[in-house]
Amino acid sequence: MAFNLSLDRRGFLKALAATAGAGALPALARATDDGAGGQWQNWSGNQSARPRNLAYPATEDALRQLLAATTGTVRAFGGSHSFSGVVPTDDTLVSLEAMAGLRGRDGDVLHFGAGTRIAQAGDQAWAEGHGLINEPDINLQSLAGAIATSTHGTGLGLPSLSAQVAGLTLLDMAGRRHRLTAADGERFDAARCSVGALGLVTEVSLRTVPAYRLEEYTWTLPLDEAMDFVEREKDNFRNIEFFAFPLGGTAIIKTMTPTERQDDNLAQDDSNDLLEMVCELAMRAGWLTATLQKLVTFFVEENRRWGPAHKIYANRRTVRFNEMEYTVPAERGIECLRKVCDTLREQDLNVFFPIEFRYVAADDSLLSMFSGRAGASLSVHQYYKQDHRPVFAAVEPLLRACQGRPHWGKLHSLGARELRALYPRFDDFQAIRRELDPRGRLLNAHLKRLFVDGAPA
């Protein structure tokens, strides 16, 4: 979401925020070694751990030795950008940050170290004359972390990152190396979106396309018109999404289309400071939230940017929030969004952050949210200083009633029983998981809830 503001409008909003005492930007969380093990925190700050071992192995051999030398739970982390408890353990936390970068190329398939961030993958692919098929709206995630949760961008014809995987290398909990491709059938389909439950991924090979450029166009519409527009036009744009502000009845629409223009225009007004101020204001003066959402059409200016695709996809997000996202069948997306917006209005829930609405193509991995069906993803956010539970508790039943599947990296309340009902091949995944991790070393508390029947919620 970008607020492209003129200086006058910016000044006006700053003055308004000053009256509510808006604070400065908080520092983002990271993993640190404090000599007695380590400390880890995710991006939004809602997950943390004090692991006995915090390891950064640089080779597969070093990783294998680590697995042999430690007991207890092992979890990997990448960019630490997940909101759900998929990472934390107080036993062993592993980063493959030292295994990053482009390792080689076979035709249009590029082989990357699993710790490579999407930003680096995009840059290195571009230098080789390639581009990722689609990308999410930030690029700080690692490739292994992003595919573990089926991280996605938007576009009805474009699949998630898990479905862009041509092959991957995984060390199982016995230290055995598995190089998996489509030829490995179900194991490959399980490993492409595994929530990190099958082993530690050391290499990710991505199918790419010839390098391409995109033009992004952003503008606002009244919310009802935006819903009609996106439903009508979803097949006509390579990438289309919108941000719904239900209390204000407004929306920001964003489309991306391929362009041949070579004169890059990448300038993007950094409006994070402003967003932070608006969030602080809305938090302190909830009665203003609907008005602030209405003002979105006043503050957000129509804007076009163009350049290399990987430079256009990514946004800079420094205003922290917590997030719930469910993917419903694509054809039910707008119907479901209407219900969510109605409920937020009826219950008068104080949330300034908009609902992000995106489309994603179907794939055939076992546990991707898009497995077997194209999806509409609805992401509900709450500013990190506000309690997200009332908002998420209000919308989760609606998202579930529309056959929604939760994003593995975002907050939700489901356990093994509910997930089995959502994924026809859930038990096939479980069989592979037990084979590769028979002692359940990869199961932290959150993964137990996901994969062990009857585990506490």
Ligand X SMILES: Cc1cc2nc3c(=O)[nH]c(=O)nc-3n(C[C@H](O)[C@H](O)[C@H](O)COP(=O)(O)OP(=O)(O)OC[C@H]3O[C@@H](n4cnc5c(N)ncnc54)[C@H](O)[C@@H]3O)c2cc1C
Q: Where are the beta strands (DSSP E) in 12-67?
A: 40-41, 48-49, 53-55
Q: Which stretch binds ligand X (CB under 6 A): 139-147, 212-220, 248-256, 267-275?
A: 139-147
Radius of gyration of the chain (CA): 21
Query: Is 195 a residue that touches ligand X (CB under 6 A)?
Result: yes
Q: CB 116 → ligand X: shortest distance, Å?
A: 10
When the beta carbons of 38 and 286 are compared against ligand X, the nearer one is 38
Q: Does 78 bind ligand X (CB under 6 A)?
A: yes
At closest approach, how far in Å is the CB of 149 from ligand X? 4
Question: If binding is defined by CB under 6 A, does position 433 make contact with ligand X?
Answer: no
Burial 256-293 (b: 16+ CB within 10 A, else e): beebeeeeeeeebeebbbbbbbbbbbbbeeeebbbebb
Confirm or reject binding of residue 149 to ligand X (CB under 6 A): yes
Q: What is the distance between the alpha carbons of residues 190 and 198, in angstroms, rounded to a whole number?
A: 8
Among 201, 206, 309, 432, binds ligand X (CB under 6 A): 201
The DSSP bridge partners found for residue 321 are: 383
Q: Is 103 in the site for ligand X (CB under 6 A)?
A: no
CB of 203 to ligand X, least distance (A): 9
Counting contacts by CB under 6 A, is residue 148 touching ligand X?
Answer: yes
Q: Does 430 bind ligand X (CB under 6 A)?
A: no
String of contacts with ligand X for each residue 350-389, x by CB under 6 A: ----------------------------------------
Q: Does 82 bind ligand X (CB under 6 A)?
A: yes
User: 249 is written with which tokens?
Assistant: 């009845």
Angle of helix 389-401 relative to helix 333-346, nearest 10 degrees, comes to: 140
Shortest Cβ distance from residue 254 to ligand X (Å)?
Answer: 12
Measured from the CB of residue 403, what is the shortest distance to ligand X in angstroms? 19
What is the closest distance, in whole angstroms, from the C-beta atom of residue 208 to ligand X in the complex? Answer: 19
Which residues neighbour 31 within 8 Å (Cβ) at sequence distance 6 or greater?
Answer: 38, 39, 40, 41, 54, 77, 80, 93, 95
By the 8 A CB rule, do 435 and 187 touch?
no
CB 63 within 8 A of CB 173: no
Number of residues that bind ligand X (CB under 6 A): 32
- 145 near ligand X, judged by CB under 6 A: yes
**Does residue 77 touch ligand X according to CB under 6 A?**
yes
Based on CB atoms, which residue is closest to ligand X, 196 or 248?
196
Task: State how far the Cα of 426 lies from the Cα of 407, in Å rounded to an integer.
Answer: 15
Which one of 135-143, 235-243, 265-273, 282-290 is the stretch in contact with ligand X (CB under 6 A)? 135-143
Q: Which residues contact 380 (CB under 8 A, 6 or more apart)?
A: 323, 324, 325, 340, 351, 353, 355, 391, 392, 395
Query: Cα–Cα distance between 6 and 23 in angstroms, integer?
Result: 22
Q: Is 87 in the site for ligand X (CB under 6 A)?
A: yes
Cβ-in-10-Å burial (0-12, 13-18, 19+) of 417 comes to exposed
Rule CB under 6 A: choose which of 41, 46, 89, 142 binds ligand X.
142
- Applying CB under 6 A, the span of 144-152, 220-228, 329-337, 395-403 interacting with ligand X comes to 144-152
Q: Residue 321, CB half-sphere, CA atoms under 13 Å: how many?
A: 24
DSSP bridge pairs for 357: 242, 378
Instruction: For residue 134, state whether it binds ligand X (rule: CB under 6 A).
Output: no
Given 191, 200, 366, 402, the residue binding ligand X (CB under 6 A): 200
Q: Does 144 bind ligand X (CB under 6 A)?
A: yes
CA distance 67 to 326: 34
Token output for 76: 């990997």
138 near ligand X, rule: CB under 6 A: yes
Alpha carbon 412 to chain centroid, angstroms: 14
Interface residue list for ligand X (CB under 6 A) = 43, 75-82, 86-87, 96, 114, 136-138, 141-142, 144-146, 148-149, 151-152, 195-196, 200-201, 317, 407, 409
